[in-house]
Amino acid sequence: MAPNEALLGDESVLAARARRAYELGRMRWSLRFAPAVAAAFVAAVACGRPLDLCAALAAAALLVAVGLSFAGGDAGRAVAPGLVAGSFALVLPLAVRTIGHLCLGEACMSLCMPSCVIGGALAGGFLALRAARDERGGVFLVSAVAIAGLTGSLGCTLAGMAGVCGMLAGVLVAGTPVLLAARR
């Protein structure tokens, strides 16, 4: 084998090693969102949410957050704002629960459900402003809403599926006009 052929073989090995190191570095970088998702999970369970439901939602949020961050681009840039926006919808219903409100039947509609809608509206407004300010498009918004929805669901399941739907409706109803007005 000629010296040039041996060198060429070493370059492909080096290129493969470099690619692997690059991908591992991206994965480590993407895992930086794990503590935020874990904190949301712990907060929801500490406020009395069912462990199995919280575990499923947190696992989904973690997979989506890490996957989008690893993918990069507008989807990757949407993860942090999505987690922040989702925390609005997470915290408000859990705060209602911690002040002693018992969410059962009609009583649930008096405080829990509105807190989910308001949390969703805050999330939608926040995401719309971020998308408009950073001049981001649909990929950013869809990714951010997915993360916010999963994170917020940890708190809004307090009001059942209606709470989660109310939160998502709040995101759309508040976010759409804010986005349209900001883009003018």
The total number of structural domains in the chain stands at 1
Nearest of 31, 112, 124, 49 to residue 84 by alpha carbon: 124
Nearest of 171, 165, 74 to residue 179 by alpha carbon: 171
Mapping DSSP to helix (H, G, I), strand (E, B) and coil, where does residue 100 land?
A: coil
Instruction: Name, in order, each residue with C-beta under 8 angstroms of 123's C-beta and a sequence gap of 6 or more.
Output: 85, 86, 88, 89, 148, 152, 167, 170, 171, 175
Q: What percent of the chain has pLDDT over 90?
A: 28
**Helix locations, the chain, DSSP H:** 3-30, 34-46, 51-71, 73-77, 79-98, 106-110, 112-133, 138-156, 160-182
Residue 120 · residue 176 · CB < 8 Å: no
Range in 21-35, 91-105, 170-184 with the lowest mean pLDDT: 91-105
Q: What percent of the chain has pLDDT over 70?
A: 86
Instruction: For the chain, give the number of residues.
Output: 184
Instruction: Name, in order, each residue with C-beta under 8 angstroms of 28's C-beta and a sequence gap of 6 or more.
Output: none
Range in 14-28, 65-79, 81-95, 152-166 with the lowest mean pLDDT: 152-166
Read off the pLDDT of residues 79-134 as tens digits, 9 standing for 90 and up.
999 999 999 888 888 787 777 656 555 655 667 788 888 888 899 889 888 888 87
**Contacts for 49-53: CB closer than 8 Å, 24+ residues apart:** 49/154, 49/155, 49/157, 49/158, 53/157
- What does the block give as tokens for 55? 């575990």
CA distance 3 to 46: 65
Whether 136 shows a pLDDT value over 70: the answer reads yes
Single-letter code of the amino acid located at 111 = L
Task: Give the domain extent around 50.
Answer: 3-182
Average pLDDT, the chain: 83
Read off the pLDDT of residues 39-53 as tens digits, 9 standing for 90 and up.
999 998 888 788 888
Whether 155 shows a pLDDT value over 90: the answer reads no
Could you tell me the pLDDT band of residue 37, with boundaries at 50, 70 and 90? Answer: very high
Could you tell me if residue 100 is left (phi over 0), alpha (psi between -120 and 50 degrees) or otherwise beta?
left
Average pLDDT of 7-23? 79
In terms of pTM, does the model score above 0.85?
no
